[in-house]
């Protein structure tokens, strides 16, 4: 009888392993969930987390002396209408896989790691504190076909990780169902999102709010800037942006 029971223990352990482990969305390796760990430690350690000197407007890391108002060449080419911006990591191959899993495979669960992600980019948590997070909206037709808006998921993950000083307001809508920006160059991107956004009718935003526009990635800033333009025109004086990746 005892022997039989012993025989079940390894089987039971394997079953428990299966329940309490998952597979890393980046390297497909096994991840033992202790606290926050949907992505394996090794992959997290190798992502290009942003800390130190960075562009004031998009958050990309920069070499050299830090001073207020330091902006990268990409941002200097644009007339960016937001006050400041930050991203958590630079998009290289591993980070792209991560974003891809969230955006195209609906892997929202990965965002549960957000508290530990925020700890990896110094000052990011403080940057979000006391702000009103406004996700970049999808057109209702795109939302219908995808079933979710990853920017909303990211905004809610930020709010959960930072705490009650932060709120999420779905204050913007996309009027034009614009084609995806992925294959467009800088000027085409700008043209593509021109007049694409508007405030939602009952948006509960107050003019004195510190607005933080949220998107998954910052590429040229065209989409975020089109959103910022709407808010500026409506009289909002504090508009900043935050994204997961840059690239």
Residues at the interface with Zn ion (CB under 5 A): 24, 26-27, 29, 40, 43, 55, 57-58, 72, 75
Task: Report the residue number, 37 or 203, with the smaller CB distance to Zn ion.
Answer: 37
Q: What is the 3-state secondary structure (H, E, C) of 174-219?
A: ECCCCCCCCCCCHHHHHHHHCCCEEECCCCCCCCCCCEEEEEEEEC
Minimal distance in Å, beta carbon 137 to Zn ion?
A: 23
Torsion, Cα of 77, 135, 202, 181 (10° steps): 60
Work out how close the CB of 221 gets to Zn ion at its nearest, in angstroms, rounded to a whole number.
8
What count of Cα atoms within 13 Å lies in the side-chain half-sphere of residue 221? 28
Minimum distance between the CB of residue 194 and Zn ion, rounded to whole angstroms? 21
The answer to whether 89 and 116 have CB atoms below 8 angstroms apart is: no
Of 113 and 152, CB closest to Zn ion: 113
Beta carbon nearer to Zn ion, 39 or 161: 39
- What is the closest distance, in whole angstroms, from the C-beta atom of residue 78 to Zn ion in the complex? 9
Instruction: Specify the residue, 37 or 181, whose C-beta has the smaller distance to Zn ion.
Output: 37
Q: Which is nearer to Zn ion, 55 or 205 (CB)?
A: 55
The least distance separating Zn ion from the CB of residue 57, rounded to whole angstroms, comes to: 5
Taking the C-alpha atoms of residue 80 and residue 99, their distance in angstroms, rounded to an integer, is 24
Q: Is 153 exposed, middle or buried (0-12, 13-18, 19+ CB in 10 A)?
A: buried
């Amino acid at each position: 009888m005892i022997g039989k029971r012993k025989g079940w223990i390894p089987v039971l352990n394997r079953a428990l392993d299966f329940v309490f482990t998952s597979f890393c969305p980046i390297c497909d390796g096994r991840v033992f969930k202790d606290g926050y760990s949907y992505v394996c430690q090794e992959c997290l350690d190798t992502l290009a987390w942003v800390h130190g000197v960075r562009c004031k407007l998009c958050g990309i890391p920069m070499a050299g002396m830090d001073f207020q108002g330091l902006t990268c060449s990409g941002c200097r080419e644009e007339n960016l209408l937001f006050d400041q911006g930050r991203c958590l990591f630079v998009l290289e191959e591993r980070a792209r896989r991560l974003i891809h899993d969230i955006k195209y495979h609906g892997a929202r669960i990965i965002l549960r790691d957000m508290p530990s992600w925020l700890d990896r980019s110094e000052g990011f948590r403080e940057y979000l504190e006391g702000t009103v997070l406004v996700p970049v909206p999808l057109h209702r037709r795109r939302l219908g076909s995808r079933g979710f808006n990853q920017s909303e998921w990211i905004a809610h993950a930020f709010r959960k990780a930072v705490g009650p000083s932060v709120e999420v307001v779905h204050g913007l809508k996309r009027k034009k169902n614009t084609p995806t920006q992925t294959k467009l160059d800088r000027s085409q991107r700008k043209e593509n999102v021109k007049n694409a956004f508007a405030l939602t009718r009952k948006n509960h935003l107050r003019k004195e709010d510190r607005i933080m526009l949220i998107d998954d990635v910052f590429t040229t800033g065209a989409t975020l800037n089109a959103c910022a333009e709407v808010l500026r025109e409506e009289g909002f004086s504090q508009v900043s942006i935050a994204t997961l990746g840059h690239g």
